[in-house]
């Protein structure tokens, strides 16, 4: 440890073993202070830049080395001063070198300055880490406020697209209903037994279609609520939601799964009704050949349109997010030490 503390190995040979242990402990202390300073600045730089790459190593070693050099010089100065005092007490003549007090004051001022700079800088970075959640929430809120017009415009566009898809499905349903009801009206004495079944199935199909439309509106509303609960925004009831995947977000997800299941069951029932109608019409309708081909075409187009609508609604959140971020007016959440510091000042 003689090289670490700056002592002479030759002179240490003339002192008791207890002094050797003292030199070793002092050297170990200097190394520990160096390591603590380097580690503190490594952590501070990682917090400040959001990462801990190896390019921070030269800065960390420079700071730790500066602290070590100052501490080593102060230890040597203290030992020399203590030796002079002990020599004077024992009656030896000790020359008084010019400027020794000035050097001591400079060492102390330098050490205090380095300690203050390291402490205040590290404390500032640690403060950023402690309030990272609040800072992120504040900056996300600013970004949401800046991007709110874009979100509103995109959501209106998505709602209009959804309404247009539903309008196409309603038009196909109306054509299917007209075709099935028209076929149900062409009856004879031999067809009387199947007439009521066709009418009942047509009425049930209309009811199921109405139920699907109602469920679709509820699914849209719950989907909007879930997006608002996750990213922050206006819920379906025009109330403001706080961003976060909390209990209300989970409840909205469970309700959304239930409504989608109900809609799928209604869609499956319509498929069963269409099959039954096709079978009955083949038995009872004297002009079933042309109607069956038309009915099959309309049913296939409706099923395809419903699948497209379901996929569009399921991807509504991603669609809104992608369109918003692709807009030229979109304001991203930028990261940086200065920006986080400004956010912390605003919160304070």
Tokens 């874009």 — which residue? Answer: 150
In the predicted structure, residue 184 carries a pLDDT above the cut 70: no
State residue 199's pLDDT score. Answer: 80
**More confident site: 300 or 189:** 300
Alpha-carbon span 46 to 128, nearest angstrom: 11
In the predicted structure, residue 219 carries a pLDDT above the cut 50: yes
**More confident site: 158 or 55:** 158
State residue 35's pLDDT score. Answer: 86
**More confident site: 40 or 193:** 40
* Cα distances (angstroms) measured from residue 117 to each of 52, 74, 130: 21, 18, 20
pLDDT in tens, 30-77: 888 888 878 877 777 676 665 666 777 787 788 778 778 777 777 777
- The answer to whether 33 and 67 are in contact (CB under 8 A) is yes
Percent of the chain with pLDDT over 90: 0
Alpha-carbon span 79 to 68, nearest angstrom: 16
State residue 341's pLDDT score. Answer: 61
- Candidate ranges 41-45, 97-101, 110-114, 308-312; pick with highest mean pLDDT: 308-312
In the predicted structure, residue 125 carries a pLDDT above the cut 80: no
Q: What is the DSSP string of 268-300?
A: HHHHHHHHHHHHHHHHH-TTHHHHHHHHHHHHH
Alpha-carbon span 144 to 228, nearest angstrom: 11
Q: How confident is the model at residue 137 (pLDDT cuts 50, 70, 90)?
A: confident
* Cα distances (angstroms) measured from residue 46 to each of 32, 167, 181, 230: 21, 55, 73, 29
Q: What value does the mean pLDDT take over residues 223-249?
A: 68
Q: What value does the mean pLDDT take over residues 68-87?
A: 75
pLDDT in tens, 297-315: 888 888 898 888 888 888 8
Q: What value does the mean pLDDT take over residues 290-299?
A: 77
In the predicted structure, residue 212 carries a pLDDT above the cut 60: yes
Q: What value does the mean pLDDT take over residues 221-239?
A: 72
Alpha-carbon span 139 to 151, nearest angstrom: 17
Q: How confident is the model at residue 15 (pLDDT cuts 50, 70, 90)?
A: low
Give the residue among 298, 262, 261 at the shortest CA–CA distance from 277: 298
Q: Cite the beta strand spans of the chain per DSSP E.
A: 233-234, 240-241
State residue 202's pLDDT score. Answer: 84
In the predicted structure, residue 176 carries a pLDDT above the cut 70: yes
State residue 287's pLDDT score. Answer: 47
Alpha-carbon span 208 to 203, nearest angstrom: 9
Q: What value does the mean pLDDT take over residues 329-345?
A: 67
State residue 213's pLDDT score. Answer: 87
Q: What value does the mean pLDDT take over residues 1-15?
A: 66
The alpha-carbon radius of gyration of the chain (Å, integer) is 40
| Average pLDDT taken over every residue of the chain | 75
Q: How confident is the model at residue 288 (pLDDT cuts 50, 70, 90)?
A: low
State residue 252's pLDDT score. Answer: 73
In the predicted structure, residue 271 carries a pLDDT above the cut 80: yes
Q: How confident is the model at residue 231 (pLDDT cuts 50, 70, 90)?
A: low
In the predicted structure, residue 140 carries a pLDDT above the cut 60: yes
Q: Over 54-107, what HEC string results?
A: HHHHHHHHHHHHHHHHHHHHHHHHHHHHHHHHHHHHCCCCCCCCCCHHHHHHHH
Give the predicted TM-score (pTM) of the model: 0.39
């Amino acid at each position: 440890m003689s090289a670490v503390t700056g002592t002479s190995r030759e002179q240490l040979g003339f002192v008791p073993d207890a002094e050797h242990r003292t030199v070793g402990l002092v050297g170990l202390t200097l190394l520990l202070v160096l390591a603590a300073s380097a580690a503190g600045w490594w952590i501070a730089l990682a917090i400040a830049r959001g990462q801990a790459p190896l390019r921070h190593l030269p800065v960390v070693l420079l700071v730790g080395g500066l602290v070590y050099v100052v501490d080593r010089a102060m230890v040597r100065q203290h030992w020399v001063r203590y030796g002079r005092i002990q020599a004077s007490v024992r009656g030896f003549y000790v020359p008084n070198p010019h400027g020794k007090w000035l050097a001591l004051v400079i060492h102390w001022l330098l050490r205090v300055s380095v300690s203050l700079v390291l402490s205040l800088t590290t404390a500032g970075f640690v403060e950023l880490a402690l309030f990272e959640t609040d800072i992120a929430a504040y900056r996300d809120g600013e970004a949401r406020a800046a991007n709110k017009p874009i979100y509103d415009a995109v959501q209106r566009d998505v709602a209009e697209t959804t309404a247009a898809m539903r309008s196409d499905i309603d038009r196909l349903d109306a054509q299917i209903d007209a075709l099935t009801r028209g076929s149900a009206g062409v009856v004879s004495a031999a067809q009387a037994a199947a007439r009521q079944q066709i009418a009942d199935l047509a009425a049930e199909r209309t009811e199921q279609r109405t139920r699907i439309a109602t469920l679709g509106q509820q699914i849209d509303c719950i989907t909007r609520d879930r997006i608002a609960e996750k990213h922050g925004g206006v819920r379906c009831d025009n109330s403001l939601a706080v961003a976060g995947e909390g209990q209300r977000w989970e409840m909205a997800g469970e309700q959304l799964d239930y409504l989608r299941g109900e809609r799928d069951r209604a869609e499956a029932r319509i498929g069963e009704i269409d099959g039954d109608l096709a079978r009955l019409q083949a038995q009872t309708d004297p002009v079933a050949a042309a109607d069956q081909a038309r009915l099959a075409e309309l049913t296939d187009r409706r099923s395809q349109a419903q699948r497209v609508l379901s996929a569009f609604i399921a991807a509504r959140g991603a669609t809104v997010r992608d369109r918003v971020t692709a807009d030229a007016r979109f304001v991203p959440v930028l990261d940086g030490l200065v920006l986080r510091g400004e956010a912390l000042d605003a919160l304070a």
